């Protein structure tokens, strides 16, 4: 069980609305992962072929690449960031912490990118604390085996342990009345895994960048032009083993699936491109395994998508019906009917928090929590 941030450093959120502590939390987890039978690609040629075979019509790559289960236990250092409002009266009355989980090829900075593009700032202004972290295998957190260890089931257990720490006030001695979850993309999928296995963990959840449809994921993945991370020309991932991937080294590999032109600042796109992160073969082969109806979760659900999300909606989250509402209907049959909501942020792609109108989405999410009595 994590017992606090080791050697914390003090910093500020992008717009200086919050004071933050950053550092590492050593966390011991046990998960029943999948046994990956496929080897890591030996070079970029095999990497490209792997993704071709994953998407091949009538193909069965996953069926031959995965076989059986694999019990994993380990202690890993997770880079974490906890932020409190700068307003002294807001800090004194703090009741709620929001646990933020980023998506694949992103890291914790997705929630605090730049002034005007910071969910951390927006909710600090509304009186909320936030806790974000780099997922295992991402950013400043440990990077263990990309096939057998960095998988979706283990991500669920890491999130559960973080929730336990926040619930039990073992993190910097802080006691919170409410704990909410906010996920994006793969982070939303991890949260779904948590609500299915541990339905009492969250008081409310906000899922963004997700749907019930996987029809456009293959096209989006192809657009990423994934490469072996160690070959990235920036040199940031040169020590990572094969099996870690990053998006291609041209900005179009990020724009194609994540952004909706012209509703973004090219400087923010460039920043996201320059700070893009990694994902693993283990994650790609196991994320689907944790998706199931969360029949035991009874709290409110908010699903927030960019209207033009290409990854999960093929560019139109109203076709053939609201993909946001479909998530609640299919995956959360016992969720609060009166408290649950949806929002489609206009003229926005998958990374809706990095578009010009990101504040519209933030405001909706804050109002969702307030209307459910989570303040």
| DSSP per residue, 252-314 | HHHHHHH--TTSS-HHHHHHHHHT--EEEHHHHHHGGGG----TT--S-EEEEEETT-HHHHT
pLDDT tens string 315-343: 999 999 999 999 999 999 999 999 999 99
Give 1's pLDDT tier (boundaries 50, 70, 90): very low
pLDDT tens string 163-186: 998 988 655 567 899 999 999 999
pLDDT tens string 230-276: 999 999 999 999 999 999 999 999 999 999 999 999 999 999 999 99
Percentage of the chain modeled with pLDDT above 90: 91
* 189: three-class secondary structure by DSSP: helix
Phi, psi of 232 (to 5 degrees): -60, 130
pLDDT of residue 169: 66
pLDDT of residue 285: 97
Contacts 24+ apart (CB under 8 A), 265-272: 265/356, 268/113, 268/114, 268/117, 268/354, 269/354, 271/113, 271/114, 272/106, 272/113, 272/351, 272/354
Phi, psi of 244 (to 5 degrees): -95, 130
In whole numbers, what is the pLDDT of the chain averaged over residues? 95
Residue 156's closest CA among 278, 289, 37, 63? 289
The DSSP bridge partners found for residue 180 are 98, 204
pLDDT tens string 61-117: 999 999 999 999 999 999 999 999 998 777 878 899 999 999 999 999 999 999 999
pLDDT tens string 52-69: 999 999 988 999 999 999
- The full length of the chain comes to 375
């Amino acid at each position: 069980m994590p017992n606090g941030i080791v050697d914390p450093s003090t910093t500020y959120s992008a717009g200086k609305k919050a004071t933050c502590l950053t550092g590492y939390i050593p966390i011991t987890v046990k998960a029943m992962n999948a046994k990956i039978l496929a080897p890591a690609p030996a070079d970029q040629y095999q990497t490209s072929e792997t993704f071709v075979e994953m998407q091949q019509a009538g193909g069965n790559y996953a069926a031959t690449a995965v076989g059986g289960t694999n019990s994993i236990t380990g202690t890993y250092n997770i880079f974490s960031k906890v932020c409190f409002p700068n307003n002294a009266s807001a800090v004194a009355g703090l009741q709620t912490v929001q646990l933020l989980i980023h998506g694949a090829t992103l890291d914790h900075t997705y929630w605090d990118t730049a002034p005007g593009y910071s969910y951390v700032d927006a909710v600090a202004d509304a009186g909320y604390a936030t806790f974000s972290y780099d997922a295992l295998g991402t950013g400043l957190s440990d990077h263990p085996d990309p096939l057998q260890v960095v998988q979706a089931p283990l991500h669920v257990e890491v999130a559960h342990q973080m929730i336990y720490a926040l619930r039990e006030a073992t993190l910097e001695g802080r006691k919170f009345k409410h704990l909410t979850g906010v996920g994006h993309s793969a982070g939303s999928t991890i949260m779904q895994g948590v609500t299915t296995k541990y339905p009492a963990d969250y008081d409310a959840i906000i899922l963004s960048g997700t749907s019930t449809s996987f029809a456009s994921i293959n096209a989006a993945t192809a657009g990423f032009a994934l490469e072996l991370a160690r070959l990235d020309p920036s040199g940031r991932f040169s020590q990572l083993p094969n099996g870690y991937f990053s998006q291609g080294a041209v900005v179009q590999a990020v724009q194609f699936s994540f952004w909706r032109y012209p509703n973004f600042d090219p400087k923010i796109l460039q920043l996201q491109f320059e700070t893009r992160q990694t994902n693993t073969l283990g994650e790609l082969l196991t994320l689907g395994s944790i998706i199931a109806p969360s029949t035991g979760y009874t709290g409110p659900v908010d699903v927030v998508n960019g209207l033009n999300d290409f990854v999960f909606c093929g560019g139109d989250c109203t076709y053939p019906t609201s993909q946001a509402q479909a998530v609640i209907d299919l995956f959360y049959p016992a969720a609060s009917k009166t408290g649950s909501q949806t929002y489609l942020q206009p003229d926005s792609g998958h990374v809706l928090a990095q578009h010009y109108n990101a504040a519209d989405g933030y405001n909706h999410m804050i109002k969702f929590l307030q209307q459910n009595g989570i303040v």
